[in-house]
């Protein structure tokens, strides 16, 4: 296992894999991880091969922002969260603008910023037991990582509003039915199916696939996403240091500790998250 939280693996069949590799923390986004993600996305984008595969090690895809890193920073909170969001947003935009097909494999939890990261793929495969939850407003925060830009375009404004405001959980099958993901597959097949899809695309008619992707994407959408990501970062950073958000995050983390103590087990090692 690499000591880096994110790394790039180049396969001989033309698949360029971007892999989240911090499973003990649920692949949560603190500043070092967000910066590593930005760097890995840039590296993959510089030479994307025939297809890019985004997937994660461990039981969770990405639980979002590391609340333990966000809570208790006082006046520094806003600047820290803005730095995390800005680095993660650079990665999201880079992956969105990669000219070759991007395939995402989602297993376990995709929460907060993990939602935007998962949905940036052109083809998104989810395990049937995968769980998608925005979770931001429950912490007194607003979404980031492109969630409020991507969701309305995928599922429509009405359902996007429902998911953002209520934070309800979608399993893999329901996410497929609602159009959030391309398809749901059996849990033990998601990695193989995602890799096989990426390999088939990498071995396909490269120029035609790139041109088809350009046709499917509004030429101005990349710039629109960039402006939207800047606004998301500004809003979540402004709220993160507020008394309400800090209290909600602290209460949430304390409840998780109590749950672990009450069950006779140690508190979960992976940080609960929203961003």
**b/e burial code for range 196-227 (CB count within 10 A of at least 16 → b):** ebbbebbeeebeebbeeeeeeeeeeeeeebbe
What are the φ/ψ torsions at residue 260 (nearest 5 degrees)?
A: -65, -40
| Contact assessment for residue 51 and residue 202, using Cβ atoms and an 8 Å cutoff | yes
Judge whether 89 counts as a catalytic residue.
yes
Would you put residue 222 in left (φ > 0), alpha (ψ -120 to 50) or beta?
Answer: alpha
Of 22, 66, 89, 122, which is the active-site residue?
89
If we measure between CA atoms, which residue out of 72, 76, 73, 90 comes closest to residue 34?
A: 90
Looking at residue 76, what DSSP letter applies? G
Query: Is 191 a catalytic site residue?
Result: no
Q: Which of 82, 144, 188, 218 is catalytic?
A: 144
* Strand ranges, E, within the chain: 6-10, 15-20, 51-56, 102-106, 109-111, 123-127, 131-133, 170-171, 183-185
Question: Residue 201 is encoded by which pair of tokens?
Answer: 């695309």
**β-strand pairing of 123-127 with 183-185:** parallel
Helix (H) or strand (E) holding 172: helix 172-177
Active site positions, annotated = 89, 144
């Amino acid at each position: 296992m690499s000591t880096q939280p994110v790394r790039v693996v180049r396969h001989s069949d033309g698949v360029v894999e971007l892999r989240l590799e911090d499973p003990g923390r649920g692949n949560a986004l603190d500043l070092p991880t967000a910066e590593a993600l930005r760097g890995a996305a840039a590296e993959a984008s510089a030479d994307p091969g025939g297809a890019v595969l985004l997937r994660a090690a461990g039981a969770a895809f990405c639980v979002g922002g590391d609340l333990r890193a966000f809570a208790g920073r006082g006046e520094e909170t806003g600047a820290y969260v803005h730095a995390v969001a800005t680095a993660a947003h650079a990665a999201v935009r880079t992956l969105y603008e990669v000219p070759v097909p991007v395939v995402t494999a989602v297993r376990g939890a995709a929460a907060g910023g993990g939602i935007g990261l998962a949905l940036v793929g052109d083809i998104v495969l989810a395990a049937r037991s995968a769980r998608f939850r925005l979770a931001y407003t429950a912490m007194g925060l607003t979404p980031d990582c492109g969630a409020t830009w991507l969701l309305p375009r995928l599922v429509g404004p009405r359902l996007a509003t429902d998911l953002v405001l209520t934070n309800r959980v979608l399993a893999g099958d329901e996410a497929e039915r609602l159009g959030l993901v391309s398809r749901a597959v059996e849990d033990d097949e998601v990695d193989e199916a995602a890799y096989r899809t990426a390999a088939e695309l990498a071995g396909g008619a490269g120029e035609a696939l790139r041109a088809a992707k350009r046709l499917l994407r509004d030429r101005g959408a990349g710039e629109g996403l960039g402006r939207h990501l800047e606004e998301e970062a500004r809003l979540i950073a402004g709220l993160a240091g507020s008394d309400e958000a800090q209290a909600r995050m602290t209460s949430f983390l304390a409840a998780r500790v109590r749950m672990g103590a009450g069950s006779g087990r140690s508190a979960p090692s992976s940080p609960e998250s929203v961003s």
